[in-house]
Chain A
Amino acid sequence: MRPQVKKTTFCPGCGAGIITQALLRAIDELGLTMDDCVFVSGIGCSAWIPSPLLNADTLHTTHGRPIAFASGVKMGLPDKHVIVVSGDGDLSAIGGNHLIHAARRNIDMTVILVNNGIYGMTGGQTAPTTPYGLTTITSPYGNAEHEFDISALVVAAGASFVARWTTYHPRQMTKSIKKGIEKKGFAMIEAIAQCPVQFGRVSKQGSAVNMLKNYKQNGIRVEKAAKMDAAELQGKIVEGEFVDLDKPELISSIAAALQGRTGGNK
């Protein structure tokens, strides 16, 4: 933590604290130091996890763009672990294009996408992740739009590693963040997090404790979910690791292509 930072900006009960712990434990358990990492974030509550909290190189950027900035950082510092921490609005709404193209390129970075299902910082507006039918400040008659399955989207876009865990499962989340950091390729951990102040209120789930209980009750492992039909999965949060594969990473691929050409083996 930056020594000069004396307080966080998070509301009481926010899931950001659990995710911060999971991230720092992952870095520590991997034997890395903060100087081995560069953190990039965008706009939204969870973008404040790395900046200003973490005592490391941090780049706090505009709304939706952290993955685009992080791509430049990674190309300049291929030996560092580039870690993006930002929200569902930032990375899947305004920044959705950068998310899918970074996954498609398979550039080596770890994205922790904090999904609270709503725009928290701006006062509880409907997000692409807000459940169908939920009443919010911008959906006063109920949300008429369907929600994004971000993990499925990023798997389809070609990521090397994709996992989803709720804040009720911090140990599993930590383990997946470790795998994501170690993965040579694009890795995303979708961290479902409670926002009692906004989401908790409109969903009538109430306090952080109730929301965590809800995660406990409705969380279901991907392996088990595979054997269930759509009706059974209604209201469930499918958790686990959706993809974990090895395929050529962008920067290594660029180097290999250049090597091939200069080697004159055409």
Chain B
Amino acid sequence: MMGNQACTEGVIAAGCGFAAGYPITPASEVFNSLCKQLPKAGGTLLQTEDEIAAVCAAIGASWTGLKSMTVTSGPGISLMQENIGLAVATETPLVIVDVQRLGPSTGVPAVGMAGDMVQVARGSHGDYQIIAICPESPQEMFDMTVHAFNLAEEYRVPVFVMAEGFIGHMRERVVIPDESQIKLVNRKITQGGETSTRCDFLDPDVAPMPVFGRGFKAHVTSSCHDEHGTRNLSDPDVMHRYIMTPIQKILSKRDRIVEVEADYEGAKLVLVSYGVVSRSSRQAAAMARAAGLKVGTLRLKTAWPFPDKEVRAAAESADFVLVLENNTGQMYPYIKAESAHACKIDFLGPQVLGQIHDPQYILAKIREIMK
């Protein structure tokens, strides 16, 4: 099955009730197949006039209590940025699948690159914290799409599935478990009461959501607001809570959210990667080990919140960290900040940007470092 189709299966399996989208390569197959499959699963869709409207409609639908999503690529994410900020500020559960492509600008639509790793976390104005996870295979396009909905529902936050064009268009065997085997999380809904006394927002342990249409008289604004949703542009304490609590809501639970795959026991050199590059990284490490070189791997399944502790632990156990990314080093500064105190660190992009790292090419770099 194609990675993008596996994503669609994940959207259905997660119980998504609304999807909005606008055509864009290399993500289109997800929305195309959703148009056929989601209505049969009881959901609705809207093909919008642009990606701005897509993310807005998905946020609006999420406030009606439906699990909601949109799917796009880098140029679409750029257009969505303002209202990604709104989703953060209003604590709206939302899944955004980003099948990344070569940029900047219109770039090369059909060539995958991890071009949006920082813009999904830092691209909207102001300070905030989202969750982003990185599949490396069509199987994980399914698994992580379901997981993304669960995270979004649990933490009332936008969650990004950071696929790349390569994974979206890759065809591999995908196992879709029986419905009963798939764990699903649903958001907590408020019990009601007066808006003026109810806590609908700004709870570090995630406030129950006052979804629309049930008489809760929810007061939702993306402007600075207090726990009841009341706009407040004058009280510095409220401003502080408006910024900090949604960040702390995620960071205080980071140990439950962050996932890595660590395989570097006894290694002198650790290859750090995420997404499709992790496949090349594992193969290069296996080849190096076969040649007697002590090489390990650390794969970041979660990109945001950034796995700072996990990277630090790897750096402190090794002599060298080599960062592999299918871009010019978007996550490298963050990895370097957690590693440079403990060991040497370097970055290795693909041999030609827009191509998947050749394991032989990684091995040559390993030999050069370890000679």
Query: Which residues of A have CB within 8 Å of B355?
Result: none
The contact size tier of chain B is 35 or more
Task: Report the separation of the CA atoms of residues A71 and B56 in the bound assembly, to the nearest whole angstrom.
Answer: 8
With A52-B231, A72-B46 known as contacts, the answer to whether A4 contacts B64 (CB < 8 A) is: no
B59 at interface, CB cutoff 8 A: yes
Whole-angstrom distance from the CB of A96 to the nearest CB of chain B? 10
In the complex, are the beta carbons of A62 and B82 less than 8 A apart?
A: yes
A243 part of interface (Cβ distance < 8 Å): no
Encode contact with A along B32-50: 1 for CB under 8 Å, 0 otherwise: 0000000100001010111
Report yes or no: A75 in contact with B221, Cβ–Cβ below 8 A.
Answer: no
A221 within 8 A of B: no
A61 close to B86 (CB less than 8 A): yes
**With contact pairs A71-B57, A254-B44 given, residues A65 and B196 touching in the complex (Cβ less than 8 Å):** no
Shortest CB–CB separation between residue A132 and chain B, in angstroms? Answer: 28
Among B211-219, B242-250, B253-261, the stretch that binds chain A is B211-219
Please state if B60 and A59 are interface contacts (CB–CB under 8 Å): yes
Interface centre among A3, A52, A61 (most CB of B within 10 A): A61
For A65, the chain B residues whose CB sits under 8 A away are: 52-53, 56, 83
- Give residues 111-153 of B contacting A (CB, 8 Å): none
* A38 neighbours in B (Cβ, 8 Å): 212-213
Say if the beta carbon of B274 comes within 8 Å of chain A: no
CA distance A97 to B56 in the complex (A): 13
Which residues of the partner chain B approach A75 to less than 8 Å between Cβ atoms? 18, 44, 46, 57, 60-61, 64
Known: A68-B48, A73-B61. A56 touches B217 (CB 8 A): yes
Decide if A72 touches B221 in the complex (CB within 8 Å): no
Asked if A34 CB lies within 8 Å of chain B CBs, one says: yes
Assembled-state Cα–Cα distance A251/B17 (Å): 14
Q: Assess the B218–A62 pair: CB atoms within 8 A.
A: no
A58 and B213 contact, CB distance less than 8 A: no
B-contacting residues, A24-63, CB 8 Å? 34-35, 38, 40, 51-52, 55-62
**Contacting residues, chain A, for B39 (C-beta < 8 A):** 254, 258
Most buried by A among B53, B56, B82: B56
A2 to B59, CA, bound (A): 24
Inter-subunit contact B60/A71 (CB<8 Å):
yes
Complex CA gap A72/B43 in Å reads 12
Q: How far is the CA of A251 from the CA of B44 in the complex (A)?
A: 9
Smallest Cβ-Cβ distance to B221: which chain A residue: A60
Cβ proximity bits A213-255 to B, threshold 8 Å, 1 near / 0 not = 0000000000000000000000000000000000000010010
Q: What are the residues of chain B within 8 A of A52 when measuring CB–CB? A: 219, 221, 230-231
The answer to whether A68 touches B56 (Cβ under 8 A) is: yes
Which of B53, B195, B223, B231 lies at the interface centre, i.e. has the most chain A CB atoms within 10 A of its CB?
A: B53
Q: Judge whether B288 is part of the interface by a CB distance below 8 angstroms.
A: no
Q: Which residues of B are interface residues toward A (Cβ below 8 A)?
A: 17-18, 20, 39, 44, 46, 48-50, 52-53, 56-66, 68, 82-83, 86, 195-196, 212-213, 215-223, 228, 230-231
Q: Report A's interface with B, CB cutoff 8 A.
A: 2-4, 34-35, 38, 40, 51-52, 55-62, 65, 68-77, 79-80, 97-98, 101, 251, 254, 258
Give me the 6 closest cross-chain CB pairs, A-B, nearest first.
A76-B64, A72-B60, A72-B57, A68-B56, A72-B61, A60-B221
